[in-house]
Structure 1
Amino acid sequence: MPTVLKALAGTLALTMCASTSVRALDVDPGDYTALPPGTSAFIMYGNYAQRNSINVVGVGDINQGYQLDSAVGIARFVHWMDIAGITVDPQVLIPFGSLYNGRLGGSRVASSSGFGNPILAATAWLVNKPDPVYSTYFGITPFLTLPLGKYDRDAAVNIGSDVFQATLQAGLIQGIAPKFHVDLIGDVTFSTDSRVAGPGRQYLTRDASYQAQSYLRYALTDKISLAVGHSYTFGGDQYVGGIKNGLRTEGHQIRGVVQAFLDPTLQIQVAAFHDFGVKGGFEQDFGVKVRLLKVFAASK
């Protein structure tokens, strides 16, 4: 056990910054709706989560002495345009915030605050069929995460990282009945290697990680919708010097979401979530995400 915990202290920084990046790629209900070319949007996210246990593959849950809270925001800028008859939305995501109240093996660790790694992305809609009831949207989104956030290799936790990440995501929205839609999203993420703290500055490598997300949405009124969702992440085994360290990205998350339009161009969303079945990482006991979406109509 002491050897495992020592390895954790050396590689937890990469685990947490990777978790922040993965959460930045979480999809909300309706995100894969194609808006008219010329439309722009500014989206602000606020996410709070508590973690009071960690799971290590081969060891199990460690419920004492491991803790981490996070308050993370994301500023997102999106613009829809037409390219050769296909709707495309280039966008940039800028994470920021703080990881704090951290404990490793019962010892306090310094918090990390500032900007995370920025993300560039663009969805291309291969199917774009709006309909009052049976609308269908299918898009593919490449993401590129850049290692420009705040990062200290010798720190226990970091809001940023020193790795590039490339993600390919596909999303489908399908109307299945009056007022009901289903959202299905899947993605795969690849990461470059990182140097970790400690003797020899060994490399930390990570296998590809995968995520599957789904929602069932119900339009309560013309302005208010409700959704329940599930996310499953898996893969992402980590290796230090070619040896597995017991950390990976595997776990389930259940979500409840309320979306409401305050006016035709301004929407607020509140979501609550809970992790379970986590293997090889921190479990979020409880989290809340608030999103504010402002749409700027297409220019005429």
Structure 2
Amino acid sequence: MFNHQTSIAGFAMSDLVRVACAAMVAVLSSSVLADVKPDPGDYTALPKGTDVVVLYQQNPRGDEVYSGGHKVADDLDLKMNVGVLRLIHFTDFFGTGYTWDPQVVIPFGHQEVGLSDSKTSGLGDITFGGTLWTIADLERNEHLGWSVFFTAPTGSDKDEGFGLSNNRWAVDFQVGYIKGLTDKISWDVIAETEFYSDQRSTDSKKDPLFQLHNHLRYNFTPETYAAITYRHNWGAKETLEGATLATSHDNGTAGFTVATMVNKQLQLMGQVMRDVTVREGVKIDNSLQFRLAYFY
């Protein structure tokens, strides 16, 4: 699955420039949940038999573009309006007594790039997989989960710089731990590694991406919490026939989240994220996210 080869003999310099420009914008995909970013509380193992329908609405905005730590553009005028449908089912892991949650993530959205006066809309790359919990203690608020997610190149406008469509397979491994430090304070830490196949139409290669997510949550009540977040990622250098399309990441993002249970089945979440350091890619000045989760 990860060895798709495409001949690019005679690949013209104009094509190389086009792919490099597309890669510059497509790097945003890692900021728009294409790699299944965990929100505060996501590594909580819910009771077996629980189903969850989650709908996200995200609005990333960015002007500055960095490559190798140097600003290469400051007028990109990138605007994205992204929706994500996520379907989750908590169940027993094949009679072992452990909990796992097979799920599917379907992104879709609209993108505008003022610098190139381009507009793109459509379906993003679909992700499927799940988490297996080896610690699932709701009473003590301690959870340890091991995740595998596969992303398929199903998105629209492949190779045209659409941030939700990478035209390559990816496999994402995560391990997440939640620990209740006090009755009201919890710490979530998630380590993640994502591997990529060669890009299917150009054969460009992409190194693994490494990420670390930290969430510190304060529970005002059992139904309502606020959280501060810091994420950092490294790697993901992309090359084509020896030419560098994107240098390695060394990017950091900070955020703030508020969530509350409206009733026993419905949760509302609001979140704001902002890149605080970017070595490679588009710097997101602000990204607002709203999440609606229905539990049944």
Instruction: Please say whether Structure 1 and Structure 2 have the same fold, judged by a TM-score greater than 0.5.
Output: yes
Listed one character per residue, the Cα deviations across residues 233-289 of structure 1 (whole Å, up to 9, x for unaligned) are 110011111222344433100010000111011000000111021011100011101
Quick one: structure 1 residues 289 and 261, their matched pair in 2 at CA, closer, same or farther if it must change by over 3 Å?
same
Shift of 1:225: 0.5
2:54 to 7, 24, 43: 43
Which residue is equivalent to 2:251? 251
Shift of 1:21: 4.8
Q: Indicate conservation of the 8 Å contact 2:28/2:282, yes or no.
A: no
Are 1:121 and 2:129 an aligned pair? yes
**Where in structure 2 are there 5+ consecutive unaligned residues?**
1-12
| DSSP 3-state at the match of 1:194 | coil
Quick one: structure 1 residues 190 and 16, their matched pair in 2 at CA, closer, same or farther if it must change by over 3 Å?
farther
CA distance in 1 between counterparts of 2:135 and 2:87 reads 23
CA distance in 1 between counterparts of 2:158 and 2:223 reads 45
CA distance in 2 between counterparts of 1:157 and 1:82 reads 38
Quick one: structure 1 residues 96 and 47, their matched pair in 2 at CA, closer, same or farther if it must change by over 3 Å?
same
What are the residue-to-residue correspondences of 1:273-284 with 2, within 5 Å? 273-284=273-284
Q: Indicate conservation of the 8 Å contact 2:25/2:161, yes or no.
A: no
Which residue is equivalent to 1:80? 90
Q: Indicate conservation of the 8 Å contact 1:16/1:159, yes or no.
A: no
Quick one: structure 1 residues 6 and 27, their matched pair in 2 at CA, closer, same or farther if it must change by over 3 Å?
same
Which residue is equivalent to 1:199? none
CA distance in 2 between counterparts of 1:215 and 1:75 reads 23
Are 1:161 and 2:172 an aligned pair? no
CA distance in 2 between counterparts of 1:173 and 1:8 reads 44
Shift of 1:181: 0.4
Quick one: structure 1 residues 18 and 166, their matched pair in 2 at CA, closer, same or farther if it must change by over 3 Å?
farther
| DSSP 3-state at the match of 1:245 | strand
RMSD: 2.1
| DSSP 3-state at the match of 1:214 | strand
CA distance in 1 between counterparts of 2:128 and 2:212 reads 21
Shift of 1:186: 1.0
Shift of 1:5: 11
Which residue is equivalent to 1:208? 208
**Where in structure 1 are there 5+ consecutive unaligned residues?**
197-201
Are 1:34 and 2:45 an aligned pair? yes
Are 1:144 and 2:150 an aligned pair? yes
What are the residue-to-residue correspondences of 1:190-229 with 2, within 5 Å? 190-194=195-199, 202-229=202-229
* Residue identity opposite 2:84 in structure 1: I
* Residue identity opposite 2:77 in structure 1: Q
Quick one: structure 1 residues 41 and 66, their matched pair in 2 at CA, closer, same or farther if it must change by over 3 Å?
same
| DSSP 3-state at the match of 1:30 | coil
Which residue is equivalent to 2:32? 23
Which residue is equivalent to 2:5? none
Bigger Cα displacement from structure 2, 250-259 vs 94-103: 94-103
Shift of 1:18: 4.9
CA distance in 2 between counterparts of 1:247 and 1:71 reads 26
Give the TM-score, by structure 1 length: 0.87
Shift of 1:208: 0.3
CA distance in 2 between counterparts of 1:19 and 1:64 reads 15
Which residue is equivalent to 1:130? 138
Listed one character per residue, the Cα deviations across residues 87-124 of structure 1 (whole Å, up to 9, x for unaligned) are 01000000000111342xxxx24221110000001100
CA distance in 1 between counterparts of 2:132 and 2:104 reads 15
Quick one: structure 1 residues 5 and 211, their matched pair in 2 at CA, closer, same or farther if it must change by over 3 Å?
farther
Q: Quote the sequence identity (%).
A: 25
* Residue identity opposite 1:43 in structure 2: V
CA distance in 2 between counterparts of 1:248 and 1:18 reads 11
Quick one: structure 1 residues 5 and 46, their matched pair in 2 at CA, closer, same or farther if it must change by over 3 Å?
farther
Which residue is equivalent to 2:3? none
* Residue identity opposite 2:197 in structure 1: T
CA distance in 1 between counterparts of 2:196 and 2:24 reads 12
